[in-house]
Structure 1
C-alpha cells in the first residue's frame, strides 16, 4: 500500500493527525522563510547605511582633495610670479614706508624644509616703542601681501616707555624647495 492509499483508508483520528502535521510543517516553513527574509533585509539595510556613510566620507575627501589641489595651484602660481622674493627685504621696505625702521631691534631669518615641495622662510623680529596705530598699520600692510602670513605675534608693554608697546613678531613665506 502506498502512502496515499494509507491516508485514504485511515480512520478519522489518524487523518486529523496527518493534516495537523502537514499544516504545522507548512506553518513552520512559512515562519522560517519569513524570519530569514527579515534577517536578510535587516542585514542589507545595515550594509546600505554603512555604504552610504563610506560614500559620504569619500565625497568629502574628494572635495577636500580638490580644494587642496586648487590651493596648491594658487600657491605655486604666486611663488612663480615672485620667484626671487626675499621676506627680509619686503619687511624692511614696509618698515621704511611706515617710518618704523628705527624701532627695529632684532631681526633673524631662517629657512625650514617642509615635508611637501616647499621650504618655509621665517623672519623673527622685535620692534620697540610702538603705539597701537603703528602696530595696526604694520599688521595691515603685512596682511595685504598674500604671500606672507603671521605665525606669531606678541604685544607687551614697553619696559622703557610705559605708554608704548613692544612687539615680537614671526612672519613667514613659502619658497619652492631647491632640488638637490
Structure 2
C-alpha cells in the first residue's frame, strides 16, 4: 500500500509540474505570414561591419553575411533566410546557396564550414532548436549537392538564442530566421 501511494504521488507530481511555457509578448498585430519578406532583405545596409579574427581567417561581419579571406581573396558569404516555420530553401535562397557553395569550394583542406541554424522567437525553445537544426541540415545538403565534401560541413542549431534583431516586428523576425556559414580550422 505504501508503494502504491508513493507511486501515485510521483505520477501526480510529474503530471502537475508539466513543462514551463515561454512567455511571448502578444500584440494586436496578425501572426507572421509564411511568405518570406525577401524585398526587405534586398535593401540590407552593409555599412555596419565589424572585424574579428576566426582561426587565421579574416572575418568581417556584415548585416546579412560574412566576408572571409579565402585563398587571398575577400569573399562575401551570404546568410540563407527562411520563411516562417519553414526549413526548405526558396528559389531565391537556392541561388544564394549555390553562389555560396561556389565560393566555399575554394576553402583549403582542413577547414570546416560550420552551418548555424537560427530561428525567430515564435515557438518553444525545443521546437526552435529542432527547426534551426533542420535549417542548418538543409543548407548543408545543398552545399554537398553542389560539390562540397560532406565531411567538410558541420551543422549546429542555436534555435532562438542568437538573434540579430530583437524588435517585435515582421522584418526583425525575418532577419532571425536564417542560417550562417562560419569557417573553422
Q: What TM-score bracket applies, with the shorter chain setting the length? A: 0.3 to 0.5
Q: With a CA cutoff of 8 Å and minimum separation of 6, indicate the structure with the bigger relative contact order.
A: 2
Greater percentage in helix: 1
Structure showing greater radius of gyration is 1
* Superposition TM-score, scaled by structure 1 size: 0.32
* Superposition TM-score, scaled by structure 2 size: 0.32
